[in-house]
Structure 1
Amino acid sequence: HVLAGKSIKDFQALLHQGYSGKPSATSSAPLPLPLATPSRPCVDHAKAAKPKMLIFIRKQNRVILNLPHVVTACRRAGFAPHVMNLRRQTPLPVIHAALASADAMVAVHGAAVTHFLFMRPGTVLLQIVPVGLDWAAESFYGKPAQQLGLEYLEYRVAPEESSLAAEYGLNSTVVQDPSVISSQGWWEMKKVYMDRQNVTVSIKRFGELLRAAKLHLKKNATACGGKPAAASHAAVR
């Protein structure tokens, strides 16, 4: 994530500068290095509204089949959930504005998770990882999110929670040993695990991550004037 002295933090700052319309606060130069990243304001948690959580949904594959239950779980955990159904024509400034003011983001592994780049340090990225996509989920989004100071949480879909279990059988190699398919190359892996899979989230396990997310935000908010909570990586299987 470093090229010619530039890091992912510099790229994030460039995005923030471009989409927020606000110049970097570090210098009068057009694109100084290092660029300032969007900061997280100090919050009095006792007076603050419920933390805002954006839930990015998919329509064709990797769909959350029990989305209403997921939204309810977020609300019960103390969040104010907002479902975002992105379209190709959704302007990036609109997405930036939504995430720049959000405290947490939930999304199934896919291109939309890239929008974590619009989030502030100290906020939470909760990625739902379908069967067979563990490595890609952490490498593409988990590690970079942590480098930006986000709290990264991972919900790993169990075999029985994947639609592939109904299609191929719970005990099939496709479900129980994704490495066999992955070894056949990217396109075979994509065809099965990315293009054909939907998920049903266990509300009990998902709730554990929601509580961890809420606790992180509370700790981060009460650390006014101090260092933000260190980014970590938690996974629930």
Structure 2
Amino acid sequence: MTHDAIIARSFGRFKQKKLVHGAFVACSFLVLSFCAVFSFRPYLGPSSIFVENTMAKQKQQRNSTIFQGASSSKSDQLMAQNVTKQREPPCHVMDLRSDFYNITGEVRIHAKSSTVFIPFPEKRNLFRGYKSWKIRPYARNKDSRAMNHVREWSVIPAFSDAKVPQCTQNHTIASILFSTGGYAGNHFHDFSDIIIPLYLTSRPFNGKVQFLISDYRSWWATKFRAILQNLSHYPIIKIDQEDVHCFPSIIMGLQRHGELTIDPSKSPYTMRDFREFLRSTYSLKRRNAVRLRHGDTRKLRLLVISRKRTRSFINSTNIAETAESMGFEVIVAEADIHVARFAEIVNSCDVVMGIHGAGLTNVLFLPEGAVMIQVVPLGGVELVAKTYFGLPSKEMSIRYLEYKIGTKESTLTEQFPLDHMALKNPYSFHRCNLEAFKSVYLDKQNVTINVRRFKTTLLKALELLHE
């Protein structure tokens, strides 16, 4: 997924008689591109680039202040005015991708009612007029499909101890409440929606923070146990099943900067820091990919990420043989729930190739300077493919190559004649219908690579890894 923000098109000079026709074609193209980005979100990774960028500009114009608290009475008054204008609680940190509340002062978490009480707000005047507000603590708040699977929590500022439940367990450290609902279970979303945002939110605590997981899934916690234990020194609390836990502060929700990315302008951390954290967590040996010199006899390792059910390589053996004839040492493997095992495999390689999908998220474990080759299938997924792996790869110091398959390389030719709209014009065929798109282009499409044509991409990978 390479991530050139939004499409821009310029028009050439047409003869006056063709001007109307040209404008119509251009507008149609933009509409179809828009549909492709927004309609396929649950399966390709929800793409909210256009919406987020537009809303960012609007919010920047409306709101000039982001606040969590203040130290003087004058700043208190200013913040109170902002609260009135924005109608957001004063602990709300405005984020275009996730709801994120940083509440300091004693908080009491009543799991049975999914409520966080603030019995003694530090800035009482700022909470006046706010009986409660709600949050779903999953970092993809513009995606209703994801949020339908996330438990909703209420936050209630109370000014009398009688209004709040009594503590059954007291804690002396800060807490972070987040959900493993939403799209958890999809490897891309595991990292883009939860792991990277959790790293951003919890890293400043240096492990001295308690994780409270809502919509808890034991298999998810097992899958990412090593990461969770490296970010927090304390056992996870399955908060949905608990009584009343009291903390000196709580962060509700996680910060997310974008798809598989960290914006250094918004954080003291970078994707390079995060990848270093992953190397440490999984004890990965290689920091840098091989750089061949003239006459070097070492072989570059190429990993072909296979898929069994859909969007798989039909001729992975031919791909491997072709690559080996060019001097590569080839490994064909499929990612699974054993993150540590596959991370070690990926880290041992210099080039990784795979069809657009969640398995390519494992490029996070590649050594710096390695090459990723994303194979883009039919269906009009080019923009989404570039969005989710292209730009992030640059921030990871990974070299990115893209191979767009030809019509005859898709197994869809076995289902449709070559002149069928499904092959000639995918946008017109599915007309932004999610189920039609998913059924044909995601669930029923595999790829038979034209190895002669693909050789050019492999040669480019070799060039990038030579000094």
Interval containing the TM-score (normalised by the shorter chain): 0.7 to 0.9
Alignment of 1:110-149 (within 5 A): 110-132=357-379, 133-149=381-397
Are the counterparts in 2 of residues 77 and 214 from structure 1 also a CA contact under 8 Å? no
Q: Which moved more, 1:4-13 or 1:98-107?
A: 4-13
Unaligned runs of at least 5 residues, structure 2: 1-260
Q: 1:94 matched to which residue of 2?
A: 341
Equivalent residue pairs, number: 202
Q: 1:16 matched to which residue of 2?
A: 279
Q: 1:231 matched to which residue of 2?
A: none
Q: 2:262 matched to which residue of 1?
A: 2
Residues 142-191 of structure 1: CA deviation (Å, up to 9, x unaligned): 22112212111111111121111220221111111122245424443222
CA-CA distance at 1:100 after TM superposition:
1.4
**Secondary structure in 2 aligned to 1:189?**
helix
Q: 1:63 matched to which residue of 2?
A: 312
Residues 174-225 of structure 1: CA deviation (Å, up to 9, x unaligned): 1111222454244432221111101111111110011110111012xxxxxx
Are the counterparts in 2 of residues 78 and 214 from structure 1 also a CA contact under 8 Å? no
Take 1:181 and 1:153, find their aligned partners in 2: how far apart are those partners? 28
Are the counterparts in 2 of residues 16 and 118 from structure 1 also a CA contact under 8 Å? yes
Higher relative contact order (CA 8 A, sep 6+): 1
Are the counterparts in 1 of residues 289 and 349 from structure 2 also a CA contact under 8 Å? no
Q: Which moved more, 1:197-206 or 1:38-47?
A: 38-47
Same amino acid, percent of matched pairs: 27
Q: Which moved more, 1:40-49 or 1:113-122?
A: 40-49
Are the counterparts in 1 of residues 378 and 407 from structure 2 also a CA contact under 8 Å? yes
Residues 120-153 of structure 1: CA deviation (Å, up to 9, x unaligned): 2211101111111222221111221122121111
Are the counterparts in 1 of residues 311 and 443 from structure 2 also a CA contact under 8 Å? yes
What letter corresponds to residue 276 of structure 2 in structure 1? A
Take 1:175 and 1:8, find their aligned partners in 2: how far apart are those partners? 38
What letter corresponds to residue 203 of structure 1 in structure 2? V
State TM-score, norm by structure 1: 0.77
Unaligned runs of at least 5 residues, structure 1: 23-37, 220-237
Per the alignment, do residues 181 and 145 of structure 1 end up closer, same or farther by CA in structure 2, a change over 3 Å counting? farther
Q: 2:403 matched to which residue of 1?
A: 155
> Whose radius of gyration is greater, 1 or 2?
2
Take 2:425 and 2:316, find their aligned partners in 1: how far apart are those partners? 27
**Secondary structure in 2 aligned to 1:120?**
coil
What letter corresponds to residue 2 of structure 1 in structure 2? I
**Secondary structure in 2 aligned to 1:20?**
coil
Take 1:103 and 1:21, find their aligned partners in 2: how far apart are those partners? 14
